[in-house]
């Protein structure tokens, strides 16, 4: 893979990651609560 293509791929991946971060920004607290509740309630679900 030549240097130009590698740089282009890195730039596209970085831009996509930044766009994903901006789209999920309003939901970070809800995502954190969902992770906490899923972890705390997993024994109830397994049992």
| pLDDT at 37 (0 to 100) | 97
Rounded-to-integer distance, Cα 47 and Cα 44, Å: 5
Cα-based angle 32, 38, 42 (whole degrees, multiple of 5): 155
Predicted pLDDT at 47: 76
pLDDT of 1 reads 72
Q: Give 1-47 pLDDT, tens digit per residue.
A: 788 999 999 999 999 999 999 999 999 999 999 999 999 999 998 87
Q: Where are the domains of the chain?
A: 3-46
Q: Please say whether the beta carbons of 31 and 23 come within 8 A.
A: no
Residues in the chain: 47
Radius of gyration of the chain from Cα atoms? 18
- The answer to whether the CB of 29 falls within 8 A of the CB of 35 is no
């Amino acid at each position: 893979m030549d240097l130009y293509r590698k740089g282009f791929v890195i730039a596209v991946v970085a831009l996509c990651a930044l766009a994903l971060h901006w789209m999920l920004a309003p939901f970070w607290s809800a995502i954190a609560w969902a992770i906490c509740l899923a972890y705390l309630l997993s024994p109830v679900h397994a049992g």
